[in-house]
């Protein structure tokens, strides 16, 4: 049963992997990122330490960082994690899944196991879980849940692990697609 769900997701990405769709999503992400969201949040909180970064934080460090944000900073971080930090992983899921699908269609035979490499895009789920933990920690401040703080740290580590895997899959697929002159393999 599980295998069928993943196979359906993989086929869904392949079906949608059209150049114009990937470029449209990419444009949308970069447009929002560069022109709207980051300038708006960075002007409001220029010196805030992010819990979203690649740094490893112990629960005590997480609680200390949340405390340093102050009430206004916690409110800004809450809205950031409930809006932009939900949108980015969802768009990233599609952008990565479609991009890998597009490249593997041009680099590998249809029956190749690499056609299912687009499933690494599901690693975006760990970014959403990390953001959920951050939201919970902010909402329940000043209560400190060590379990949620550790889960946040674990999800951050898994998110970055998937990031490395995604980069490797894209590079391998890109090299194979280049060798095939970006023609769809039949």
Total number of residues shown for the chain: 186
Q: Return the pLDDT at 40.
A: 67
Q: Rg of the chain's alpha carbons, rounded to an integer? A: 19
Q: Return the pLDDT at 19.
A: 77
Q: Return the pLDDT at 95.
A: 87
Lookup: tokens for 180: 């095939």
In a domain, 51, yes or no: no
Q: CA torsion sign, 122 to 124 to 130 to 134? A: negative
What are 27-48's pLDDT values in tens digits?
A: 777 777 767 776 666 665 557 7
In a domain, 49, yes or no: no
Q: Return the pLDDT at 135.
A: 96
In a domain, 42, yes or no: no
Domain ranges, residue 112: 2-37+65-179
Q: Return the pLDDT at 32.
A: 76
In a domain, 167, yes or no: yes
In a domain, 44, yes or no: no
In a domain, 53, yes or no: no
In a domain, 98, yes or no: yes
Q: pLDDT tens string for the chain (186 positions)?
A: 556 899 999 999 998 887 777 778 877 777 777 677 766 666 655 577 888 877 789 999 999 999 999 998 899 899 888 887 888 888 889 889 999 999 999 999 999 999 999 999 999 999 999 999 999 999 999 999 999 999 999 999 999 999 999 999 999 999 999 999 999 998
What total number of domains does the chain contain? Answer: 1
Nearest to 124 by CA among 177, 85, 181, 80: 85
Q: Return the pLDDT at 45.
A: 56
| Contact of 137 with 66, CB cutoff 8 Å | yes
In a domain, 148, yes or no: yes
């Amino acid at each position: 049963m599980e295998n069928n769900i993943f196979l359906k997701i993989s086929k869904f990405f392949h079906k949608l992997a059209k150049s114009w769709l990937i470029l449209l999503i990419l444009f949308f992400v970069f447009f929002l990122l560069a022109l709207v969201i980051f300038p708006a949040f960075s002007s409001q909180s220029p010196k805030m330490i992010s819990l979203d970064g690649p740094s490893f934080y112990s629960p005590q460090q997480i609680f200390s960082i949340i405390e340093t944000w102050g009430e206004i900073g916690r409110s800004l971080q809450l809205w950031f994690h409930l809006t932009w930090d939900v949108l980015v992983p969802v768009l990233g899921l599609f952008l990565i899944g479609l991009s890998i699908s597009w490249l593997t269609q041009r680099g590998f035979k249809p029956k190749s196991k690499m056609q299912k490499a687009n499933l690494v895009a599901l690693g975006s789920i760990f970014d959403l879980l990390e953001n959920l933990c951050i939201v919970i920690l902010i909402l329940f401040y000043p209560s400190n849940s060590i379990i949620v703080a550790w889960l946040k740290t674990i999800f951050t580590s898994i998110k970055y692990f998937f990031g490395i895997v995604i980069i490797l899959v894209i590079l391998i697929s890109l090299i194979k697609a280049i060798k095939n002159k970006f023609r769809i393999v039949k």
